[in-house]
Structure 1
Amino acid sequence: MLDFPLIDRSVAEIAPDFRAISILVDAGDPTRGPIACDVLGEACDFVRAGGPQWGDAHLASWADVYSRFGAKPNRTPCSAQALKKRVEKDGRLPSINPLVDLYNAVSLRFAVPVGGENFDAYVGKPRLSIADGTEAFDTVANGEAIIEHPSVGEVIWRDDIGVTCRRWNWRQGTRTRLDFIGGRMWFILESLETMPEEALEEAANMLVNGLRQLAPGCEVYRQNLLAA
């Protein structure tokens, strides 16, 4: 179960300093537990107070990486930047559910993109790769389910069927979206060199501790990843 995900060699040419922590959680059909505090609200407060000292530099690094594969970071920013902008505009994020609130809180507090996926919906292993433009991406537009395709050269997360997240960590697809606590849940925390390694580890610890509260008795498998 630890022999995943896969990172294509071509990704290292775009972001040689990319590193991530992959966390697979096997929750089965758990007894639901509560989060002990308002983690999302506290994270929003932390962002409004300035966030981590290195946070702006880390998000700027992601904007640079996006530009390298042809994306426009002002229009389609990385997920962590998008969350930060919403907090700066609205003051806080609305609660979705305890699970999503948890990993959004980790993303905000550490200025790091965090993805949460339903691993049981995957066909084959997750893979970070470069799109050829033919891959299918399940999404919703104007309330209707549609299939999109990534741009040629775009960095994508995918499985054997198609794209699970476009523009690295900008938008997740509907097919593998994580809507509930249970079964096998996969999380990926993605960083660049401007985020201290110890901060990435601390972010992963916050996520794992929260997941153990939400799903008591779950099994957690953790793996550190490098682009090269």
Structure 2
Amino acid sequence: MIDDIAVDAAVTALRPDFAVLVMTAHGLANGPADDRSRGWLAEAAEAAVPPDDARIEAWRAAYRAFGAKPQRTRPSVDALVRRMPLPEINQVVDAYNAVSVRHGLPIGGEDLRRYTGPARLVRAAGDEPSEEALGEPEIGEVVWRDDTGVTCRRWNWRQCVRTRITEETVDALFLLERLEPLTIEGLRAAGDDLAGKLSEISPDVRIETRLVG
């Protein structure tokens, strides 16, 4: 499945500097937030990039480019760095939220077993199936989707309920998203950080990565 994940040419035309590090993790043993994941969140809060960091401003500019107002619907990393202390969700979500604010990039986490077909990043036609809580995407909006419908609106603003990571998630997909000035090396460093944390949670986890873009 990881080889089929794609970024549509219309998205690349909007932001030629976009890249996503795709990571799959099979064999997770997730659970409620614990002392270790709380420690990751606390350390990340101390080392988080500030809201005016250039890496976050790049995402605000990307939102404006497809007509979104980033003050109203914030990029995920922008919303997280403004929300301290970071919320405790579960061990895996705590891990990728901690990595997100430390490295200054959006990270999406998805339950692979709830996916139908591969993930792809597209510009919406406006008629894509979408959960009521998400609302219908606007024409030209950047969205992640699968064969069933929209999985995340406005690039990385809000995820659907269907594919979110829960304590029962065993196989997961992570989407680590990059715009300049974050370097590809910085993107890979964030991936290494997340892989390390997932391996602490589940020593037998099988991780695969692929750079798209």
TM over 0.5: yes
Aligned counterpart for 1:215 among listed residues 163, 185, 202: 202
The amino acid that maps onto 2:68 is A
Match of 2:20 in 1: 20
1:13-47 deviation line (CA, Å, top 9, x unaligned) = 1110001110001116x487x74871111000112
1:39 equivalent to 2:40? Answer yes
- Distance in 1 between residues matched to 2:132 and 2:203, nearest whole Å: 32
CA RMSD of aligned residues (A): 2.1
Total equivalences in the alignment: 211
Name whichever of 183-192 and 196-205 sits farther off: 196-205
Larger Rg: 1
- Distance in 2 between residues matched to 1:8 and 1:209, nearest whole Å: 30
After TM superposition, the structure 1 = structure 2 runs for residues 112-131 of structure 1, keeping only pairs within 5 Å, are: 112-131=105-124
1:61 equivalent to 2:58? Answer yes
After TM superposition, the structure 1 = structure 2 runs for residues 1-228 of structure 1, keeping only pairs within 5 Å, are: 1-27=1-27, 30=29, 35=36, 38-47=39-48, 51=49, 56-87=53-84, 92-138=85-131, 140=133, 148-180=135-167, 182-226=169-213
- Distance in 1 between residues matched to 2:97 and 2:161, nearest whole Å: 18
- Distance in 2 between residues matched to 1:7 and 1:36, nearest whole Å: 31
Structure 1 length-normalised TM:
0.86
User: SS state of the match for residue 81, structure 2?
Assistant: helix
Asked if structure 2 preserves the Cα contact closer than 8 Å seen for 1:106 and 1:207, the reply is yes
The amino acid that maps onto 1:129 is V
Pick closer, same or farther for the CA change 1:216–1:156 going to 2, 3 Å.
same
- Distance in 1 between residues matched to 2:87 and 2:191, nearest whole Å: 23
- Distance in 2 between residues matched to 1:189 and 1:167, nearest whole Å: 15
Q: CA offset at residue 112 of structure 1?
A: 0.4
- Distance in 2 between residues matched to 1:102 and 1:12, nearest whole Å: 28
> Where has structure 1 moved over 3 Å in runs of 4 or more?
34-37
Q: CA offset at residue 4 of structure 1?
A: 2.8
Asked if structure 2 preserves the Cα contact closer than 8 Å seen for 1:76 and 1:170, the reply is yes
Asked if structure 2 preserves the Cα contact closer than 8 Å seen for 1:27 and 1:181, the reply is no
Asked if structure 2 preserves the Cα contact closer than 8 Å seen for 1:26 and 1:182, the reply is no
The amino acid that maps onto 1:197 is I
Q: Percent identity?
A: 39
Asked if structure 2 preserves the Cα contact closer than 8 Å seen for 1:181 and 1:215, the reply is no
Q: CA offset at residue 85 of structure 1?
A: 1.3
- Distance in 2 between residues matched to 1:222 and 1:139, nearest whole Å: 32
